[in-house]
């Protein structure tokens, strides 16, 4: 098709594309308003996340630059009278801008995009903190592997010392999950029968949010966790405290709650170190009262949420393995909540 006819036929499409692009371009800053907060890859607080955010901004800048160049060319083509286009210039433009430039751009972007991968996948140095996280349906089992002593087991919360590399060993007993703390780094799948590894180095203190990034069943969207990055001294104090058994109940209502906990068989699934409860199916509750959330990031950690969780688990997290205990009288639910909330 002669180039003049091509432009004549496509000028209508170009105008429509120009109009649409203008609105998309104007809307971009609005989308970016939602890109900060505790779960944002664009507000990095870790070494790997910084590299990923850098890559994102360079890719975005490159995309915007070439988008403007293409739109400018389209506008120029539409506004120039068809007779002004000559065949030789058009052929050069098609070969140059249609084949040579895209090949160079894609090659540069591929090299630049792949370059950080060895850095992102590099293992943490020998002697670094090692944490095993298992993706469960639908919560996170967290084990701090400590040389020379038993692992410290908790759930749905990870604490890290700032500036120190940490290696996560990630596993799953049944279905695929994906472990992702956007503020600290990239995500990696948790695959049954395999151990995947992810090394991260947090660079800022704060509370960040992680999530499951792979559809894993009914409550996939209700499977989050908090990551607290703190100075080394505070972290070590916290870890030492996590190793201790649960404190004995300090009030009559909490003591009643402990009796109910043991009498209702909760200990068949949950461990509370220092009591007869040593089940391994559900989350370890030894220090549950001190965690930032309940139900894997979905409820605040308060008395009301404990009652809600115990009495209507299915409503709070559809498909959860824990049976509901809504048949218990309100007074017993309150006692259970009082006991668990005091497990600091
Ligand atoms: Cu676990 Cu999605």
- pLDDT single digits (tens) 127-184: 999 999 999 999 999 999 998 889 999 999 999 999 999 999 999 999 999 999 999 9
Q: Which atom of ligand 1 is nearest to the CA of 177?
A: 1
pLDDT digits (tens, 9 = 90+) for 257-283: 999 999 999 999 999 999 999 999 999
177 lines ligand 1 (CB under 6 A): yes
> In the chain, where are the structural domains located?
3-120, 129-242, 252-341
pLDDT of residue 9: 47
pLDDT of residue 29: 58
pLDDT of residue 98: 86
pLDDT top residue among 200 and 94? 200
pLDDT digits (tens, 9 = 90+) for 329-340: 999 999 999 999
Count how many Cα atoms sit within 13 Å of the Cα of residue 102 in the half-sphere of its side chain: 8
- Is the preceding omega at residue 92 within 30 degrees of 0, hence cis? no
216 lines ligand 1 (CB under 6 A): yes
> What single DSSP character describes residue 231?
-
Q: Give this prediction's pTM.
A: 0.85
Distance 50 CA to ligand 1 centre (A): 25
Same fold, 129-242 and 252-341: yes
Q: Could you tell me the fold of the domain covering 252-341?
A: Immunoglobulin-like (2.60.40)
pLDDT of residue 27: 60
Asked if residue 33 has pLDDT above 60, the reply is no
Confirm if 223 and 216 have CB atoms less than 8 A apart: yes
Confidence band for 109, pLDDT divided at 50, 70 and 90:
confident
Q: Which atom of ligand 1 is nearest to the CA of 223?
A: 1
Closest C-alpha residue for ligand 1 atom 1? 177
Q: Which atom of ligand 1 is nearest to the CA of 216?
A: 2
Instruction: Over range 212-237, report the average pLDDT.
Output: 97
Distance CA 203, CA 45 (A): 5
For 23, the 3-state DSSP assignment is helix
Q: Which atom of ligand 1 is nearest to the CA of 213?
A: 2
Confirm if 166 and 128 have CB atoms less than 8 A apart: yes
Structural tokens at position 9 = 């036929």
> What single DSSP character describes residue 278?
B
Distance 199 CA to ligand 1 centre (A): 20
pLDDT of residue 14: 46
212 lines ligand 1 (CB under 6 A): yes
Distance 186 CA to ligand 1 centre (A): 16
Give the lowest-confidence range in 97-111, 230-244, 273-287: 97-111
For 145, residues 6+ apart whose C-beta sits below 8 A from its C-beta are: 130, 131, 132, 151, 169
Q: Could you tell me the fold of the domain covering 129-242?
A: Immunoglobulin-like (2.60.40)
Q: Which atom of ligand 1 is nearest to the CA of 215?
A: 2
Please report the sign of the dihedral spanned by the C-alpha atoms of residue 296, residue 299, residue 305, residue 307: negative
220 lines ligand 1 (CB under 6 A): yes
């Amino acid at each position: 098709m002669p180039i003049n006819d091509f432009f004549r036929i496509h000028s209508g499409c170009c105008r429509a594309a120009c109009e649409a692009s203008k609105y998309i371009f104007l809307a971009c800053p609005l989308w970016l308003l939602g890109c900060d907060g505790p779960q944002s890859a664009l507000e990095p607080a870790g070494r790997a996340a910084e590299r990923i955010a850098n890559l994102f901004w360079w890719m975005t800048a490159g995309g915007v630059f070439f988008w403007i160049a293409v739109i400018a060319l389209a506008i120029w083509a539409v506004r120039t009278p068809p007779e002004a286009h000559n065949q030789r210039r058009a052929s050069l433009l098609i070969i140059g801008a249609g084949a040579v430039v895209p090949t160079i751009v894609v090659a540069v972007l591929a090299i630049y995009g792949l370059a950080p991968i060895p850095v992102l996948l590099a293992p943490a140095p020998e002697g670094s903190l090692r944490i095993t996280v298992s993706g469960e349906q639908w919560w996170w089992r967290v084990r701090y592997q400590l040389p020379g002593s038993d692992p410290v087991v908790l759930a749905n919360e990870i604490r890290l010392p700032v500036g120190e590399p940490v290696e996560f060993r990630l596993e799953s007993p049944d279905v695929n999950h994906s472990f992702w703390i956007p503020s600290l780094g990239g995500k990696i799948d948790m695959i049954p029968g395999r151990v995947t590894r992810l090394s991260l180095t947090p660079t800022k203190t704060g509370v960040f949010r992680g999530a499951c990034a792979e559809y894993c069943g009914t409550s996939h969207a209700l499977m989050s966790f908090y990551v607290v990055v703190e100075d080394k001294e505070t972290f070590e104090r916290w870890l030492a405290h996590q190793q201790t058994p649960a404190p004995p109940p300090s009030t009559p209502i909490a003591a009643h709650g402990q009796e109910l906990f043991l009498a209702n068989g909760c200990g068949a699934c949950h461990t509370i170190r220092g009591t007869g409860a040593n089940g391994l199916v559900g989350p370890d509750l030894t220090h549950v009262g001190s965690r930032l959330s309940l139900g894997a990031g979905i409820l605040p950690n308060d008395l009301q949420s404990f009652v809600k969780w115990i009495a209507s688990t299915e409503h709070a997290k559809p498909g959860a393995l824990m049976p509901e205990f809504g048949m218990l009288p309100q007074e017993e639910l309150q006692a259970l909540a009082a006991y668990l909330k005091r497990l600091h």
